[in-house]
Structure 1
Amino acid sequence: MKQFLPLLFLLLLLACTEDAPVPAADETTQAQFNDLLESYQEARLQLNPLEATYLGDDRYNDRLPNTLSQQYRSEARGFYQDYLARLRTINRKNLDPTAQVSYDVLEWELNMALQGADFATELLPLDQFSGPHLTIGQLASGQSAQPFTSVEDYDNWLARVEDFAVMMDTARINLERGAARGYLLPRALALKLLPQLETLSAEPLEDHLFYSPAKMIPDSFSTEARERLQGAFRGMVGQRIIPLFADLTQYVREEYLPLTRETSGIDEIPNGKAYYNYLIKLYTTTDMSADEIHEIGLREVARLRQEMEKVKQQVGFEGDLQAFFDHVRTKPELMPFDDPQQVIDNFNAIYDRMKPQLSRLFNKVPKTEFEVRRTEAFREASASAEYNPGSKDGSRPGIFYVPIPDVEQYNVFSDEDLFLHEAIPGHHYQVSLTLENEDLPDFRRNLWYSAYGEGWALYSESLGKELGLYEDPYQYFGMLSAEMHRAIRLVVDTGIHSKGWSRERAIQYSLENEAESEASIVAEIERYMAIPGQALSYKVGQLKILELRARAEEALGNDFEIKAFHDLMLEGGCLPLNVLERKVDEWIAAA
C-alpha cells in the first residue's frame, strides 16, 4: 500500500482544492517580505565577504572577517537571531507561492545557523580538507575568484591577506585552546595537514603561492605601480606569510601532533554525538538518524554489488568481484596517459560526445561558460575532483578541477560519470542556472544544500545512457562504482562518527566493495573524518530525486515530460528536500 500513498495524496489534494481558489497575496506583506530578503542578502554578504567575491561582487574584496574569533561568532549569532525575529513578523499565508518557498528556505537557513552556533567549531579550525589556508590559498594563485586586473584589485588583495594573517594567528591560538579542552584532530588528519603548512612556509618567496599575482601584473600598469606592488608582495610573503606558516608548522609538528587522538569519529570530541546529529540534519536536510542511514547504505551496497556482477560477466572476467576490482584498478588500458593535459583533453572529448543529446533532456542550458582545469599543485595531493561556480555576471567560467598527482596512475574508468556529476549536467547546470535565474531572490541564488546539490549531481550520473555515454562496459562499471562509492559513504560515515569504526576498518570496508585505488580510498576516508556528515548528502539526495521522478512518471503516465521534470528540479535552486518534495507534488497536482 505504501507505494500508492503519494498518488492517493494527490487525488485527495485535487478533490479538496478543486473549488477553493488560492488566496491572492497581500501586496503590503509581499513588499515587506521582499524588503526583508534584500536586506538579509546585503547584510549576509557584508558578514561573509568571501561569498560576495565568489559571486563576482567586488565591493568587499579587501575584507576578510576573522570568523574564528569570539567577536565574529557573537556578531553572527546576533545577525541570525535578528533576522529570524524579523521573519516571524511576516504572515506567510499572505505571500505568493514563490515567496512562501523563500520564507520556508530562509527560516530553515536561520534556524540551522543558530543551532550550529551552539558548537565550538572554531576549536578545530584547520584540517587537510578545509580551512582558511586552503580557501585563501586558492584565491592567492591569481587563477580563482579574486580578480587581479587593476591596481585597486591588487591593493584589495594585500588588505585581505593582512586580515588572513590575523585569522591564521587566531587559528594557532584556537588549536591550543582546543587541545586543552579535548578538541583534537585525529592523528591521521594532522599528518596530512603538515605538508600543506610546510609548502606555505617554504622559500624562495618568488616561488611562493602567495607571490603568484606579483608575477602576472598587467603590462598596462605604470612602472611606479608595478614596482610598488612587487615590493608590497615581497614584504607580505617574506615578512608575514612565510614566518607565520613556519611558526604554525613547527607548532603542529612538535606540540600539537603528539596530542592528537587515535580515534577517528567526531563523537569523540566534547559534545560530539550531538554535533554529529546536527551535521546529519544540516547535510541531508532530513530528520533521519545515523542508524537509519547506516541501514540504507548496507542495502544499497548489496544491490549495487549485484549490478557489478553483471558487468563482470559481460566483460568475461573470471574470478570474484574483489578480484575484478583489482583488475579494474590495475588494467593498463585504463591508465593510458603520460601527460596531464591528456586527462583534460579526455574530459573535453566526453563533453563533445554528449552535447548532441542534451537537448533531449533539458530545455534550459546555462549561459555561463565552462572549463576543465587541473587542480593547483599545492593542494592536489589531498584534493578530490570538484566544481567551482562561475560568477553571477558570467565573466568567470564554471571550473571543473581535476587532481592529477600521478598521471601514469590516473585511471579513466569513471571519467564519464565524473564529468556528469561535477560538470554537465551536474553542478555546472545546477549552479549556473540558479545564479542566472533572475526570478529568484538573490539569497536563494547563492544557497547550497548538500542533499539537493549533491543529490542532483549523483542523479545526473544515472543519465549517462540517455546522453550517449556508458557504451563501454568499463565506463558503465565506473558509474556503478561511483554510486557504490556514495552508498559506501552512508555506511562508513555513520560507522566512523556514531559506531566507533576506526579509520582502518572504514578503509577495509571500502576496499572490499569498490574499485577505487587504495590511495584514493584513504584520502576519501580521511575526508569523511574531516567533514562529518557531508558524505551522507549525495545518496540521500539522489534517492529522493529518483523517488520523485518515479512518483511523477506513475502519476502522469504518457503526460510525463522529462525535460519539464528537469526544469522543475533546476528552476528553484537549492532547496531542503522536504521543500523540493512539496514542489513536485504541487506540480503533479497542477498537471
Structure 2
Amino acid sequence: MSRRSVILRLCTVAVVSALAAGCVRTDSVGNTTAATTTAPTTAPTTALTATTSTTTAAPAPTSTTIPSIDALVEGLADLPFAEFLEASYGRLISRDPEFLTSLRVADRYGLGNDRLNDLSDSYLRQTQNLESAILELLHARDRDALSPAEQTSYDVYEWYLDELVRGHEFMYHDNPIHYFLTSYNDNLLRLFTEDQPMATKGDAEDYISRLKQIRTQVDQLLEGLEIRRDMGVVPPRFILLR
C-alpha cells in the first residue's frame, strides 16, 4: 500500500464522520433533525452503514459473489441524498474486504471475513470505474437544492471521490513490496495476526479460507509488479539488494 493510499484510508474515517454529521432529514411539519443510523455495538461508530432498502439498493456482495459495476450503481441515482451517500460509500468500501475486517464491520456490508482483496488489474480497474461512476452520480445532483448541512456532505464526498479518480492514472506508481510499514507483506501479516477474528469455529474456517487464497493473491501481486516493471517503476536499489 502506498503512502497516498494510507492517507486516503485515514481520510476515509474523516469522510464517514463528516457525511454522518452533515446529513439531515426534515419531518412532515418542516422540523429539521439529524439523520441517525443505528450501528451494531461491535462496530466502530465512525463506519458508515450501507442502506437497508430492498427496493432501490443493488444486492450486497457476499463472500462468493461480486456484483458487476452496473449492479453496484443500480438504483443509486434515485435515492434521497442521505441514502445515496450511505449506499454508494458502502458499495465502494465493500471492494476491500480486508479493510472491512480491520474495521470489524464486514458483516454489515454483506461480506464475511473469508476473502482476501482481489489485486488483479481487471478488478482494480473495475473499482476505478465504480469510483468514477459514483462521482458522476454525485455531480448529477443539484447541490443548490440541498440543505447547508447536506452541501457540506456533498463537498466532502466530492473531494474524497475526486482524490480517488485523479489518482487512477498513477495506480502503478508505487512499490508494494518493501521493508517498511504499509508494504504488502506487512499488511498481510497484520491481517492474519491482528485483524482476523479468531473467537469461533466459523472464524477459524474463515482464517483457513483466506490462507488458501494467498497463492492467488501473490500471483495477482506479481502481475502488478510486472506491469510496474514494464513502465519503469521499480524499487530503489537498496530495497532490491537488502
User: Cα–Cα, structure 1 residues 181 and 121, in superposed 2: closer, same or farther, change >3 Å?
Assistant: closer
Per-residue deviation at 1:77? 1.3
Per-residue deviation at 1:133? 1.5
The match for 2:145 is 94
The match for 2:239 is 189
Opposite residue 81 of structure 1, the aligned amino acid is: S
Q: 1:54 aligns with which of 102, 127, 137?
A: 102
Q: How many angstroms apart in 1 are the aligned matches of 2:210 and 2:139?
A: 36
Q: How many angstroms apart in 1 are the aligned matches of 2:147 and 2:240?
A: 50
Q: How many angstroms apart in 1 are the aligned matches of 2:98 and 2:81?
A: 26
Instruction: Compare relative contact order (CA 8 Å, sep 6+) and give the higher one, 1 or 2.
Output: 2
Per-residue deviation at 1:122? 6.9
Per-residue deviation at 1:188? 1.7
Q: How many angstroms apart in 2 are the aligned matches of 1:88 and 1:82?
A: 10
Q: How many angstroms apart in 1 are the aligned matches of 2:174 and 2:225?
A: 6
Q: Which runs of 5+ in 1 are unaligned?
A: 1-23, 193-591
Give deviations 1:84-120, integer Å, cap 9, x for gaps. 1111122222323332221111101111111111124
Opposite residue 165 of structure 2, the aligned amino acid is: L
- For normalisation by structure 2, the TM-score amounts to 0.60
Per-residue deviation at 1:161? 2.7
Q: Which runs of 5+ in 2 are unaligned?
A: 1-23, 28-34, 36-78
User: Cα–Cα, structure 1 residues 102 and 162, in superposed 2: closer, same or farther, change >3 Å?
Assistant: farther
Q: Is the 8 A contact 2:172 2:227 kept in 1?
A: no
Opposite residue 149 of structure 2, the aligned amino acid is: T
Opposite residue 191 of structure 2, the aligned amino acid is: L
Greater percentage in helix? 1
| Matched residues, number | 165
The match for 1:138 is 190
Q: 1:173 aligns with which of 205, 214, 223?
A: 223
The match for 2:129 is 78
User: Cα–Cα, structure 1 residues 85 and 174, in superposed 2: closer, same or farther, change >3 Å?
Assistant: closer
Q: How many angstroms apart in 1 are the aligned matches of 2:171 and 2:82?
A: 34
Per-residue deviation at 1:183? 1.0
The match for 2:69 is none
Q: How does 1:42-441 map to 2 (within 5 A)?
A: 42-59=90-107, 60=111, 61-67=113-119, 69-121=120-172, 124-129=175-180, 130-141=182-193, 144-192=194-242
User: Cα–Cα, structure 1 residues 100 and 173, in superposed 2: closer, same or farther, change >3 Å?
Assistant: same
Q: Which runs of 4+ in 1 moved over 3 A?
A: 24-27
Q: Is the 8 A contact 2:172 2:224 kept in 1?
A: no
- For normalisation by structure 1, the TM-score amounts to 0.26
Q: How many angstroms apart in 2 are the aligned matches of 1:122 and 1:156?
A: 32
Per-residue deviation at 1:26? 7.8
Q: How many angstroms apart in 2 are the aligned matches of 1:162 and 1:176?
A: 23
The match for 2:4 is none
The match for 2:51 is none
- After superposing the two structures, state which structure 1 stretch, 121-130 or 46-55, moved more: 121-130
Q: Is the 8 A contact 2:172 2:228 kept in 1?
A: no
Per-residue deviation at 1:145? 2.1
Overall identity of the aligned pairs, in %: 25
Counterpart secondary structure, 1:86: helix
